[in-house]
Amino acid sequence: MQLKPISQQVVAIIGASSGIGRETAIQFASKGAKVVVSARNQLGLNSLVTEIQAFGGEATAITGDVADFERVQAIADYTVEQYGRLDTWVHCAASGILAPFAEITPEEFKRVIDVTLMGQVYGAMAALPYLKQSGRGAMIHISSMEGRRALPLQSPYSTAKHGLEGFLESLRVELQHDQIPISVTSIKPAVINTPFYNHVLTKLGVKPTGLPPYYSPKLVAQAILHTAEHPTRDFIVGDVGRILDLCQKLSPELMDAILVAIGFSGQRTSEPKSAHGQNNLYEPMDGYTQVEGDFQNLTIPSLSDWLVKKLTFK
């Protein structure tokens, strides 16, 4: 399967107002791609488009809640209206709750599934017809290592990411059977230093954190750009992600024991935050539209990603 060089691509990036999506949009645009960015946060999108245009890149924005299929369809339609085609669809949008399962309401659980799983499904539904019209293309879905190994206190998010992995496996085989040259990639980051932990609803009584160490969003964006040119099934980002994948394959029971020991205290900071604190579960959240999160002091390099880049990236 031959994909276009990035400089010749039209790329739609969903969930682009902050974090991985924002960094990905900047990197695509800096390499000459025409970029359409989408999220619920209009101010975040406006600042992103301004940033891209300031260095001479080409970008336009459209708002949309991915839990609404019609809005996701509108993003795909808008991309083709603006640029005549779609070459790569990058779906980053996600939401989360950190709380014991017993404290999560049915409505809250469903909302995470609607955004984090069904949003990805809607994205594929909207993008596939246009990618087929182009004759080739890439669908790049941002999953998580929680799609391989669930974590305590994150049951809705882990459920969504496990569901996403099943969906992508099924879809990939269908496309292969029909000999349709569309690459389907699952990007599986370890813990990444984005504003995600500022955005999530928490019922832990404190601001939550991922289990450190953290890795830079730039590593994930680099993986996304690589897979936009080089068809790839799965791409894990972060040394700990690759170690976690191996340990889960060797002994899920060992991972259970490790997470009993560290998975509860390790996802709590000492900063108070109530369940009524600002979050973006149902509505976009003011601020926090930057790429990096608050955990720069816990962010480390990834040796395995450096090696993969040296061996495979062009």
Q: Active-site residue numbers? A: 157
CA gap 146, 179 in Å, rounded: 30
Q: What is the number of alpha carbons within 13 Å of residue 302 lying toward its C-beta?
A: 30
The DSSP letter of residue 135 is T
Neighbour-count burial for 187-222, b at 16+ CB within 10 Å, e otherwise: bbbbbbbbbbbbbbbbbbeebbbbbbbbbbbbbbbb
CA gap 190, 176 in Å, rounded: 28
Contact 221, 30 (CB under 8 A): no
What is the phi-psi region of residue 124: left when phi exceeds 0, alpha when psi lies from -120 to 50, beta otherwise?
alpha
According to DSSP H, which parts of 200-292 are helical? 217-229, 239-250, 252-262
**Could you give the angle at which helices 69-83 and 119-134 cross, rounded to 10 degrees?**
30
CA gap 39, 21 in Å, rounded: 9
CA gap 270, 266 in Å, rounded: 11
CA gap 176, 182 in Å, rounded: 8
Contact 64, 40 (CB under 8 A): yes
Partners of 211 in the β-ladder: none
Contact 109, 157 (CB under 8 A): no
CA gap 309, 307 in Å, rounded: 5
